[in-house]
Chains A and B, each alone.
Chain A
Amino acid sequence: GAGVSQTPSNKVTEKGKYVELRCDPISGHTALYWYRQSLGQGPEFLIYFQGTGAADDSGLPNDRFFAVRPEGSVSTLKIQRTERGDSAVYLCASSPSGAGTSGSRSYNEQFFGPGTRLTVL
């Protein structure tokens, strides 16, 4: 079956511009996550959606970053006034439901997309 897809795969923009990154989760997955991975580093959490609502946005670095998931499926990460430091791979993940207290791998597993490589010149 189809996994998590992200578009575009690569995005080059100029400092100060606005960008939108799209994530299509696995069908039926209610939980969706955004992470950012800088070169040579592990992914860092940005935001988590349960359905349409952002349940945890504590990882968003500042108010230039915003994400939506209006119908509880596709999500868009929006970055205003991009800066060179925003250059990174932006990863989206989905899971069947939000991680709970179950020890079950399938219940908690986050399935990652291939990422969007953002370069801000």
Chain B
Amino acid sequence: QKEVEQDPGPLSVPEGAIVSLNCTYSNSAFQYFMWYRQYSRKGPELLMYTYSSGNKEDGRFTAQVDKSSKYISLFIRDSQPSDSATYLCAMRFTGAQKLVFGQGTRLTINP
């Protein structure tokens, strides 16, 4: 079993829809949680960064961390075709350098 599980999709929704992306993890020692967006043939770029539990909002994006359930979510409001990409969750332990990524969810927003 992988440390971080993420449904690979693909996920296809109409423009303007609310998108919900999720990851579960097995190690309760993870403290830092991130969401990256990766366009085809590009490197991942950081979207959201959360320390420990709670919610964080940035424009149309909201990240949630529920450490009691070992579950993290990314919500995208008013989705746009330009949001079409692969979304990767990532996490790390305090004091560790490496990021542990989920498999990535391929998202398509249809105009």
Contacts and interface: CB of A to CB of B under 8 A. Distances in A.
20 contacts: A4-B43, A33-B98, A40-B104, A41-B104, A42-B4, A42-B6, A42-B104, A43-B44, A43-B88, A48-B97, A56-B97, A56-B98, A99-B97, A105-B46, A109-B49, A110-B46, A112-B36, A112-B43, A115-B42, A115-B43
A91 interface: yes
A8 interface: no
B43 A48 contact: no
Given A42-B102, A111-B46, 20 more contacts: A4-B43, A31-B97, A41-B104, A42-B6, A42-B88, A42-B90, A42-B101, A42-B104, A43-B101, A45-B98, A48-B97, A55-B97, A58-B98, A99-B32, A101-B94, A105-B49, A112-B44, A114-B41, A114-B43, A115-B42
Nearest to A3: B43
The 3 closest A-B pairs by CB, nearest first: A42-B101, A112-B43, A45-B98
Nearest to A109: B46
A113 interface: yes
Interface residues of B, number: 27
B98 A48 contact: yes
A59 interface: yes
Contact of A113 (B43, B88, B97): B43
Interface of B: 4, 6, 8, 32, 36, 41-46, 49, 51, 88, 90, 92, 94-104
Interface centre among A44, A59, A91, A99 (most CB of B within 10 A): A99
Interface string A91-113: 10100001111010100111111
A98 B96 CA distance: 9
A40 B96 contact: no
Contact of A59 (B44, B95, B98, B103): B98
